[in-house]
Structure 1
Amino acid sequence: MPAQPQTGPIAGRLPAETLAANFADLHPPLSAHEARVAADRCYFCHDAPCVTACPTSIDIPLFIREIQAGRPETAAREIFEANILGGICARVCPTEVLCEGACVREAAEGKPVEIGLLQRHATDSLMARQGHPFTRAAPTGRRVAVVGAGPAGLACAHRLARYGHEVVIYEGAPKPGGLNEYGIAAYKAVDDFAAREAAWIMGIGGIEVRHGQWLGREVTLEALRAEYDAVFLGIGLSGVNDLVVENPALEGVHDAVTFISALRQTRDLTTLPIGREVVVIGGGMTAIDCAVQARALGAESVTLVYRRGRDRMGASRWEQDLAAQRGVRLLFEAAPVALEGEGRLTGVVFERMAEGPEGLRPTGERFTLPADQMFRAVGQRIGETSGVETAHGKVVTQGCGRTTMDKVWAGGDCAAGGDDLTVTAVAQGRDAAEDIHGSLTE
């Protein structure tokens, strides 16, 4: 039987009701009864390895005990003291390799306490109430500029506002939230949660957001340093790495970050084009999110190809298994070398790779995957830094985010030492705020 002709990406491959089911909440929330049952499984360990595994050091046994006692809102306050973005982190954190991966029940039984779902139950309960759980201190008269309204910037701004400082956030995108708004899979944060959380965080007062303000274009670091008492950079990684392949300029070749952002902002998913045979290049969470969502949009086949072995992937094994369960084919130890097609992509040529003492090397064996759409998810790079020292594509920081430039701190994905996780960005933004506050009041 002859192969079907390549038609290229088209919209509406699946009906609206099927798309709604495909993009439903990945982890539906627990009921009050389910939460108390899940909380009963916690041993409340005195050494609490789950706390050590959490980048924001949430007192997990304490908040679970509050849920067990029927006080989820008290539990939420404990969470928010350590992590003001505890709501989104409960949805997107790789708990399987952080808190739940360290859980004693995971080691003993292979089934950890459902910490992520319990955290979501608590934070959702409090956020559903009117008002903000924290009170802003009296104004200090000090002003701080935060560049970037992503997780690091929001965490930093909130902590500074709590201390009474005036904060102005400079954000290039139309909405706050950073990757929480534009860069995660839609099924992980449904119902505009990222936008609602950002608004809730800024409900403490004392925070102004100015959109359409890109560092190095509408605003400069020199001007901010002159106008404000301190500056925090939470600019993320705005550039997308390219693939070095033959014949790269073909229709149907995209970067995964742009695809995920467009999907997140599209109200009617039937209008979003997707290919019939899709190939995704990469091994991190962006690659997984891209591949799973391409399949959910109606691609007949989606193949994710990573140049190293499975155990070297940045995405957790849980996320890899999720992709496989959703119909994504995973191929390892292969790298793209050429794209085929006349004007439009029809195939991707790969070369088998081998990893040994000398590192990764090509074997000379090649194969071709048919494709009418390809997404590259091979990492991002930092954008404009306006003179702040960088190394290996990240801002150089010391201690709690201090850069080599006076009055300037940095945190999140743009700063060295992070894990490119929302929870790590929150911790760095929070800790930088504490350091900034100390420098402004010493």
Structure 2
Amino acid sequence: MAPAPHGGMVGGSAGHLSRAEIDDNFADIKPMLDKKRAIVDSARCFFCHDAPCVEACPTGIDIPNFIRMISTGNTKGAAEKILAENIFGGMCARVCPTEILCERSCVRNTSEDKPVDIGALQRYAVDQLIEAGHQPFTRAESSGKKIAVVGGGPAGMSCAHRLAVLGHAVTVYEARPHLGGLNEYGIAAYKTVDNFAQREIDFILSVGGIAVKAGQRLGKDVQLADLARDYDAVFLGIGLGGVNALDLAGEGELKGVLDAVGYIAELRQAKDKAVLPVGRKVVVIGGGNTAIDIAIQTKKLGAEDVTIAYRRGAENMSATGHEQEFAQVSGVKIKHWVKPVKLVGSNGAIAGIELEYTRMNNGKLEGTGETFTIECDQLFKAIGQTLTPPSGLNTAKGKIVVDQDFKTSMPKVWAGGDCVASGTDLTVQSVQDGKLAAHAIDRALRRNGHG
């Protein structure tokens, strides 16, 4: 039998679950609203003037206006209102942490009531427009300018789309076979079913004016200096390509010690999830959305025991309380105030992990000296990603430095998304970065003829 991917178990899911059970587990966790439910929930909106939900939305969608349109049956108009500000309105409706953004700010969000289901209403409108094949955008007259966009994720494609609408010719350079970035490779499969990520990309490209060159990795297949020379402007939406290490002995040698980001990408691309290697006892190190996603997905693949180990308390996890609760409801255990100190191997494979209890002491995290071991046959690292920036760019704290217009230190080069420190590392923030950068590039090109 061929070796398992990423050095994991051999023999697929080891027969934990049948294909039918796995398919059922990965069904849409929150299917689209039907018309009756959409009308009922949209009617709950107070259509506030100076609505706090709009202020909480990183892309500034006019939420009361689009919800009012849904309540009057104008679903197409609602979708157009959403997409004018957020071209990834469909995916953001699925993955955006609305519970800490727009819905938390909803005036109905009180102890006696619940917020309007803004995310579900957004999906209701956008999905119907994309399914109908309607293209609401018209490109402006050609500017004669050409822009290179490096990275086909939310930031890059948001920038590319807005630049194309503004009349510029755009070429997107993407390292992987498919566009979409984390939407295609990094989001949990149960959050985006039926190949929606690629259908949304197809919708974005249908505006025209965007050429795609896949399999082109920056620094290997294409050089930043060459792009800056050959194009009128360059936008970098390269995300965070590196993965942090545990720095423990055996990390690179023991089978079953895996990178969560890589596994999720493989899961998303798998035509048959039943052949993926999954342990019976799984441990995940980390406290963010990736840790939650890999933990839940291994449980859905048939792992019998899944534990997330995080070095601080629940309130310190970057995963939202909603995501943490969903993990626990899904059968995942979360152990707080513990850190990994030793990998336990057996016959060249992971057999357990030794953890040390932690505590805060004068504002600093420290180990208590008390340890314990959890048995596992699969261990996932989900402790954050890192940037390997192109040479010639100023960086700070692991991010590319940009000004208020997303301009980098290199002439003619802008950047946005997770590779810059513009806000939270959320899909919706990356979309906003790309949109704002596109307008900044447009202003620069029309004003000066160059960046």
- The TM-score, its normalising length taken from structure 1, stands at 0.97
Q: Which residue of 1 aligns with 2:351?
A: 346
Choose which of 352, 359, 363 in structure 2 pairs with 1:358. Answer: 363
The answer to whether the aligner puts 1:408 opposite 2:436 as a matched pair is no
Name the CA distance, whole Å, in 2 between partners of 1:53 and 1:346. 45
Contact 1:354 1:360 in 2 (8 A): yes
Superposed structure 1 runs of 4+ greater than 3 Å apart: 6-12
The answer to whether the aligner puts 1:421 opposite 2:398 as a matched pair is no
| Letter of the structure 2 residue corresponding to residue 45 of structure 1 | C
Q: Which residue of 1 aligns with 2:105?
A: 102
What residue ranges of structure 2 are gaps of 5+ in the alignment?
Answer: 1-8
Structure 1 residues 47-126: aligned runs within 5 Å: 47-126=50-129
Q: Give 3-state SS (helix, strand or coil) of 2:373's partner.
A: strand
Deviation at residue 102 of structure 1 after TM alignment: 0.9
Q: Give 3-state SS (helix, strand or coil) of 2:429's partner.
A: helix
Q: Which residue of 2 aligns with 1:240?
A: 243
The answer to whether the aligner puts 1:262 opposite 2:263 as a matched pair is no
Q: Which residue of 2 aligns with 1:297?
A: 301
Name the CA distance, whole Å, in 2 between partners of 1:43 and 1:10. 49
Q: Which residue of 2 aligns with 1:307?
A: 311
Contact 2:13 2:301 in 1 (8 A): no
Q: Which residue of 1 aligns with 2:282?
A: 278
Name the CA distance, whole Å, in 2 between partners of 1:202 and 1:63. 24
Name the CA distance, whole Å, in 1 between partners of 2:81 and 2:134. 17
Alignment RMSD, CA only? 1.3
Encode CA deviations 1:43-87: one digit per residue, 9 max, x unaligned.
Answer: 111121111110001000000000000011100000001001000
Give the aligned length. Answer: 437
Deviation at residue 35 of structure 1 after TM alignment: 0.3
Contact 2:281 2:378 in 1 (8 A): yes
Name the CA distance, whole Å, in 2 between partners of 1:226 and 1:398. 22
Contact 1:400 1:428 in 2 (8 A): no
Contact 1:11 1:272 in 2 (8 A): no
Q: Which residue of 2 aligns with 1:149?
A: 152
Contact 2:154 2:430 in 1 (8 A): yes
| Letter of the structure 2 residue corresponding to residue 20 of structure 1 | D
| Letter of the structure 2 residue corresponding to residue 188 of structure 1 | K
Encode CA deviations 1:234-254: one digit per residue, 9 max, x unaligned.
Answer: 000010010022332211100
Q: Give 3-state SS (helix, strand or coil) of 1:128's partner.
A: helix
Q: Which residue of 2 aligns with 1:334?
A: 338
Name the CA distance, whole Å, in 1 between partners of 2:110 and 2:444. 43
Q: From the superposition, tell whether residues 7 and 195 of structure 1 become closer, same or farther in structure 2 (CA, over 3 Å).
A: closer
Q: Which residue of 2 aligns with 1:3?
A: none
What residue ranges of structure 1 are gaps of 5+ in the alignment?
Answer: 1-5
Q: Which residue of 2 aligns with 1:185?
A: 188
| Letter of the structure 1 residue corresponding to residue 115 of structure 2 | P
Q: Give 3-state SS (helix, strand or coil) of 1:122's partner.
A: helix
Q: Which residue of 2 aligns with 1:392?
A: 397
The answer to whether the aligner puts 1:210 opposite 2:213 as a matched pair is yes
Name the CA distance, whole Å, in 1 between partners of 2:96 and 2:27. 18
Contact 1:8 1:275 in 2 (8 A): no
Choose which of 354, 357, 377 in structure 2 pairs with 1:372. Answer: 377
Q: From the superposition, tell whether residues 11 and 209 of structure 1 become closer, same or farther in structure 2 (CA, over 3 Å).
A: farther
Instruction: Give identity over the alignment, percent.
Output: 53
* Greater displacement, 88-97 / 385-394: 385-394
